[in-house]
Amino acid sequence: MAREMWKGNEAIAEAAVRAGLEAYFGYPITPQNEVLEYLSHRMPELGRAFVQAESEPAAINMVYGAACTGARVMTSSSSPGISLMQEGLSYIAGTEVPMVLVNVMRGGPGLGNIAPSQGDYNQICKGGGHGDYHPIVLAPASIQEAVDLLPVAFELAHKYLNICTILIDGSIGQMMEPVHLPEMQPVVRKEYDWAVSGAEGRKRHLLSSIYLDVPTEEKVNLRILGRWREAQANEIRYKEYFLEDAEQIVIGFGTAGRIALSAVRAARALGIKVGLFRPISVNPFPFKRVEELCKQAQSFLVVEMNTGQMLKDVQAAVRNRIPIRFYGRLGGVMPFPDEFIHEIQEMIKKPGKPEDDPADLWYLRMMAR
Amino acid sequence: MPAKGWIEVNDMFCKGCELCVSACPPVVLELDNEKLTPKGYHPAHIFKDGCTGCAICALVCPDAAITVYREVTKAPASAAAGVH
Amino acid sequence: MAATIVSLENLVYSRPQGFTDTPSHYCPGCTHGTAHRLVAEVLEEMNILNKAIGVAPVGCAVFAYNYIDIDFVEAAHGRAPAMATGIKRVLPDRVVFTYQGDGDLASIGMAETVHAAARGENITIIFINNAIYGMTGGQMAPTTLPGMKTTSSPNGRDVETQGYPIRVSEMLATLDGAGYIVRRSLHDPKNIRLAKKAIRTAFETQVHGLGFSMVELLSTCSTGWGVTPVQSLAWLEEHMIPAFPLGDYKIAPSVAALKN
């Protein structure tokens, strides 16, 4: 089937539609407005639900309501809007109902800017709201990968009764690439034994995140944790490039991982034995695989568009076995491949020690520029 | 001749708030100070003749604690809930 | 005497089918219970208990779902109209309603309230206005009256620094999406009957797809106001009705045509 040129945000929206999206509730915020705008005509065209809510808190609560019916429901937002949605995300997690969230990160903190960033990794991977829970977070590095992950996102959300986030940045949202979109899947609303729909012919269902009885709340937290542990065991996703004989390994997710691939290819052309490990599931994080790679690599170079957030997860897996070097760009600045190539070369020249603090050394280098 | 009525107050629900006592037109209700509900309230009860089964007590009861009967001389009342 | 009168054929009123057997946690005499009862009675009389989905608020009525035996979801504070929108948009043939207090609806949730009405969402809101925050211990509400003492206006609401109460029904009535907006009261038998009729019309508005419906119910809070339950009824009549006049604020022609 022929590929078509699509803008990232719109391809993601259409991919969700084809994965059986029943309802979308959102609010404008750059750089993800096209998701909302595209669905504002596509959903009514198909007789499906669409509302531009009055705010992000309103949007996430509309999602919460629809999720309580078991429908496939999605919202999208960007950094400041995700902050506004955190209360709703926590309620959705605490009520144990499914949803898909598209998170298009931009420069911050605060209002920041509309340029691409990866500065919200911690926010979403460590919960995205108050309480002990873990959304599943998938980080595609291209529009095609995002499109391919949308049906997966719905499957995972509904399988684990969890929030499944597609984590991208403004560049993936805004770029245009040739994409192969899948066939349209029919909308199928599963019959859940917890969903609300009017108690016709059955006992009524109650969906709430209130558990005033403290031991019961503990049991609920353990139940949520149990499903998360299943996801940790079964939903690890990553991609590896040029690892067979790699002596240095670059680790990056999303756009940083994609830029790193260009750098790794260029470095290979220069004869450098470097490879790329690109986590796709950043939550659950592929700790075990990173730990395995410690055995073959002399050092890791972690690249991110933030001050070193995924770096902490890599460090947790490496546990000072090998040196780690870090390189980050901030505030919406996009790194270029030659910056990464330079970092790879520096890493080979000055390998560093396993006990070095990569974030500290990077900061000093940044300030010395 | 006024209809003859009777009410039963469910101890599980009555909180002794006295809204029924205050609203009762023939003034036949009061709290029963000799009785305590499981929650420790004095429930309402009919203390003298004159209940007409008007159901105003049930209308004002916030706890739906009252069941109302009215002696019918003509056609039977329907068994549905709701004030007639 | 009782023995002869108590019989099925003499039954005039009994606890609504739509009520559970759970004794409520509301204070004695609190008109939340009355409002719950009217909603349950109306849903039963309209034969839509099995199609109803309630959205509970944060406030004293946070446990409303313990008392009305229908599908229920629990909203975050103020977000009930948004949740109701989400449910109604995917299940348009069910009867979706929220039940909210003055803080939930007119403070943190004001945007959700206004926009649900502006969008003409076919949901029904039961708005319990008792001019105070009950659940959290009696603080000032957006509908607290000038001069009224609450735990966060201990010297009486000072309009200079704490502003004026909001008349929600009047405000929402200006929105084209609103189909039925009325204010009633629960302080005496006549008004309770009128309130029940209004709740019925509101649900009929939804069932016929005629726009957003809301019944604002002036209610008592004897604990928050510091009076007995019986005194609270008189307090409502004396103080709240002048500030929040009872009446019909918006009845769309299509809704008026329904009332036969």
Are residues A141 and A20 both part of a single domain?
yes
Nearest to C91 among A67, A69, A208 (CB): A69
List, as ranges, residues 19-78 from B with C-beta within 8 Å of C.
19, 21-23, 39, 41, 49, 53, 55-56, 58-72, 76-77
Instruction: Please tell me the predicted confidence (pLDDT) of residue A26.
Output: 94
Chain A interface includes C94 (CB < 8 A): yes
Instruction: Please tell me the predicted confidence (pLDDT) of residue C70.
Output: 98
Chain C interface includes A201 (CB < 8 A): yes
Are residues A222 and A328 both part of a single domain?
no
Closest-CA residue of C relative to B73 is C10
A/B Cβ contact: 3+ pairs below 8 Å:
no
Domain ranges of chain C: 24-258
Ramachandran region of residue C247, left (φ > 0), alpha (ψ -120 to 50) or beta? Answer: left
Query: How far is residue C196's CA from residue C34's CA, in Å, rounded to a whole number?
Result: 10
Interchain pair C189, B79: CB under 8 A: no
Chosen domain end from A195, A216, A234: A234
Instruction: Please tell me the predicted confidence (pLDDT) of residue A349.
Output: 96
Interchain pair B82, C15: CB under 8 A: no
Interchain pair B67, C11: CB under 8 A: yes
Chosen domain end from A186, A219, A234: A234
Interchain pair A65, C85: CB under 8 A: yes
- Vertex A291 angle, CA A290 and A294, to 5°: 90
Interchain pair C86, A207: CB under 8 A: no
Closest-CA residue of C relative to A90 is C76
Closest-CA residue of C relative to B41 is C28
Contacts of A91 in chain C (CB under 8 A): 76
Element (H, E) at C148: none
Interchain pair C86, A63: CB under 8 A: yes
Is pLDDT of C122 > 60? yes
Are residues A194 and A100 both part of a single domain?
yes
Are residues A157 and A13 both part of a single domain?
yes
Q: How far is C80 from chain A (nearest CA, A)?
A: 8
Instruction: Please tell me the predicted confidence (pLDDT) of residue C259.
Output: 67
Interchain pair C12, B23: CB under 8 A: no
Instruction: Please tell me the predicted confidence (pLDDT) of residue C260.
Output: 56
Are residues A229 and A320 both part of a single domain?
no
Instruction: Please tell me the predicted confidence (pLDDT) of residue A1.
Output: 72
| Strand spans (E) along chain C | 11-13, 52-56, 71-74, 95-101, 124-129, 178-185, 212-218, 247-251
Instruction: Please tell me the predicted confidence (pLDDT) of residue C105.
Output: 97
Instruction: Please tell me the predicted confidence (pLDDT) of residue A2.
Output: 86
Q: How far is B3 from chain C (nearest CA, A)?
A: 11
Where do the domains of chain B lie, and which CATH numbers do they carry? 5-70 (3.30.70.20)
Per-residue pLDDT band for B82 (boundaries 50, 70, 90) equals low
Report the candidate in C109, C158, C173, C164 with the shortest Cα–Cα distance to residue C142: C164
**SS3 assignment, position A300:** strand
Which DSSP letter does residue B29 get? E
Are residues A305 and A164 both part of a single domain?
no
Read off the pLDDT of residues C84-115 as tens digits, 9 standing for 90 and up. Answer: 999 999 999 999 999 999 999 999 999 999 99
Are residues A306 and A170 both part of a single domain?
no
Instruction: Please tell me the predicted confidence (pLDDT) of residue C161.
Output: 87
- CATH number for the domain harbouring residue A158: 3.40.50.970
| Chain centre to alpha carbon of residue C124 | 10
Is pLDDT of C1 > 60? no
DSSP string of A18-44, one letter each residue: HTT--EEEE---TTSHHHHHHHHHHHH
pLDDT, averaged across chain C: 96
Other beta carbons less than 10 A from residue A320's beta carbon: 12
Chosen domain end from A234, A252, A280: A234
Domain range enclosing A260: 238-368
Interchain pair C6, B69: CB under 8 A: yes
pLDDT, averaged across chain B: 90
Is pLDDT of B81 > 60? no
Per-residue pLDDT of chain A (369 residues; tens, 9 = 90+): 789 999 999 999 999 999 999 999 999 999 999 999 999 999 999 999 999 999 999 999 999 999 999 999 999 999 999 999 999 999 999 999 999 999 999 999 999 999 999 999 999 999 889 999 999 999 999 999 999 999 999 999 999 999 999 999 999 999 999 999 999 999 988 899 999 999 999 999 999 999 999 999 999 999 999 999 999 999 999 999 999 999 999 999 999 999 999 999 999 999 999 999 999 999 999 999 999 999 999 999 999 999 999 999 999 999 999 999 999 999 999 999 999 999 999 999 999 999 999 999 999 999 999
ipTM of the complex, rounded to two decimals = 0.94
- Domain total of chain A: 2
Are residues A174 and A315 both part of a single domain?
no
Interchain pair C50, A198: CB under 8 A: yes
Interchain pair A198, C62: CB under 8 A: no
Q: Which CATH superfamily is domain C24-258 in?
A: Thiamin diphosphate (ThDP)-binding fold, Pyr/PP domains (3.40.50.970)
Give C98's strand partners. Answer: C55, C125
Contacts of A92 in chain C (CB under 8 A): none
Report the candidate in A162, A155, A135, A177 with the shortest Cα–Cα distance to residue A283: A135
Is pLDDT of C250 > 60? yes
- CATH number for the domain harbouring residue A254: 3.40.50.920
Contacts of C28 in chain B (CB under 8 A): 15-17, 41
Task: Supply φ then ψ for residue A277, to 5 degrees.
Answer: -115, 120
Question: How many inter-chain contacts (B to C, CB under 8 Å) are there?
Answer: 126
Closest-CA residue of C relative to A24 is C86
Interchain pair B72, C193: CB under 8 A: no
Are residues A244 and A229 both part of a single domain?
no
Give the residue from A25, A48, A64 with the most C CB atoms within 10 Å of its CB, the best one to mutate: A64
Are residues A215 and A296 both part of a single domain?
no
Other beta carbons less than 10 A from residue A5's beta carbon: 10
Interchain pair B64, C16: CB under 8 A: yes
- Vertex C123 angle, CA C91 and C198, to 5°: 135
Interchain pair C230, B19: CB under 8 A: yes
Closest-CA residue of C relative to B25 is C189
Give the residue from B11, B17, B46, B52 with the most C CB atoms within 10 Å of its CB, the best one to mutate: B17
